[in-house]
Amino acid sequence: MRIPLQIAVIFAICLAGEFLNRVVGIPIPGNILGMVLLLILLCTKILKPEQISGVSSFFLNHLALFFLPPSIAIMTVGDDILSQWPTLLLLCIVLTLISLAATGLTTQFLIGRQEKRLNIEQLEDEEMKQATRGKK
């Protein structure tokens, strides 16, 4: 797809997310709903990654520009942030620890699940080998 068409697809998905938020009343921000819709479209292969790769690469290459508005907004409320720094520091530490714990537990769960699958496959292979030996 050409770049303008790719941009149109991305904006249409964002618009659908905003529609779900405002008109349907789903209490999740429209941009998050748009990302979920994009994920669903990609996972169901309705939308192929190649169809939006050009604009996706552009956005990823210029990702730093998307952080300018929030950074400037933080600078404008700098005094408020400075007055609340102990709370913000504590929040950052606690949320970092929660993220680390969630990531570790998820990884352990997925590794355990994969090991169980491998063990089941090995047992099935051994049973098939024994069954074929018994027939001979």
Nearest alpha-carbon partner for 14 in 29, 31, 36, 39: 31
For tokens 């933080």, name the residue: 74
| pLDDT at site 77 | 86
Whole-prediction pTM value?
A: 0.57
Q: Angle 46-49-50 (CA atoms, 0-180°, nearest 5)?
A: 110
| pLDDT (tens digit per residue) in 22-35 | 998 889 999 999 99
Whether 124 shows a pLDDT value over 80: the answer reads: yes
| Class of residue 20 by CB neighbours under 10 A (exposed 0-12, middle 13-18, buried 19+) | middle
- What SS3 class is residue 27? coil
R_g of the chain computed on alpha carbons: 24
For tokens 């699958």, name the residue: 117
| pLDDT (tens digit per residue) in 71-90 | 888 888 888 888 888 999 99
Question: Distance (Å, rounded) from C-alpha 44 to C-alpha 34?
Answer: 15
